Amino acid sequence: MSSTEPRPYHHGDLHRAIVRAALDVLSESQTTEFSLRELARRAGVSHNAPYKHFADKRELLAAVSAVGFELLAKQMTDATKELDSPRERLAAIARAYVCGGVNNPALYRLMFGGYLTGQDNGRPAVERTAAENMKALLVDAISDGALGRLIANTAANTRKIDGAILIFWSQMHGLTLLLVDRLVGPSDKVEALTESVLQGMLDGLANSIPAIPAGVWVGPRPAE
């Protein structure tokens, strides 16, 4: 078969091929300004093929964002595999998070920016599920004692755990964007900068963990 002929993908393979093509183009161009026709060409399928799986570009980018969360969660999991200390696990998670954003800013902005937020202020369900799985890694480390004390993962402690995650996420998200936008640098000091910010934050949380106000969510907004 020549390279110009459409490939005979199976149904599930085609979905993955188009998402993979979108991830590749996003990484190479660092912009979401690409067309479904371009992705079809990249995947070696007919220009109408993407519409068999995605109603529009937003639905495709939601799938791309979900894969982004899955990849970031895998990087975090891989970074913590050999670590027993909850505090070391949280530090490894922080490094993986910041490095993931710095290494692919366009994907990071898609995952954590407002592009996919709908008119109801909600995010696509496929993305919410993937993001919640990533958040679970933080919950496990914090409940296991990363902040210097065990915090049982129970309903009674939800606001406290979410308060700790909010502070952690605010610091790591802010550092990631400062590095991406070159307001902090140099880029080869990412891990050292992450460690410095993280240790300062953990020292503060070891003294006090503020519970978030009632009715506040941390992470993907719950479906209504």
DSSP labels for 153-184?
-SGGGHHHHHHHHHHHHHHHHHHHHHHHTTSS
Residue 78 has pLDDT above 90, yes or no: yes
For residue 206, the model assigns a pLDDT of 80
Q: What is the pLDDT of residue 7?
A: 52
ω before 6 within 30° of 0 (cis)? Answer: no
Domain boundaries, the chain: 10-54, 64-207
Say if residues 158 and 218 touch (Cβ distance below 8 Å): no
pLDDT for the residue numbered 118: 62
Query: How much is the pLDDT for 113?
Result: 84
pTM, entire model:
0.84
User: Which residue type sits at 22?
Assistant: A
- Token pair of 86, please? 């909850």
Kindly tell me if the per-residue pLDDT of 218 is higher than 80. Answer: yes
Per-residue pLDDT, averaged over 87-110, amounts to 93
Cβ contact 210:163 at 8 Å: yes
* Over residues 42-70, mean pLDDT: 87
pLDDT band at 1 (very low <50, low <70, confident <90, very high): very low
User: Residue 167's pLDDT is what?
Assistant: 92
Q: Which CATH number fits domain 64-207: 3.40.640.10, 1.10.357.10, 3.40.630.30, 3.20.20.60?
A: 1.10.357.10
Average the pLDDT over 161-180 and give the result: 93
What mean pLDDT value characterizes the chain? 85
Q: What is residue 224's predicted lDDT score, i.e. its pLDDT? A: 58
pLDDT, one tens digit per residue, over 194-204 is 899 988 988 88
The confidence score (pLDDT) of residue 4 equals 45
In CATH, 10-54 is 3.30.9.90: no
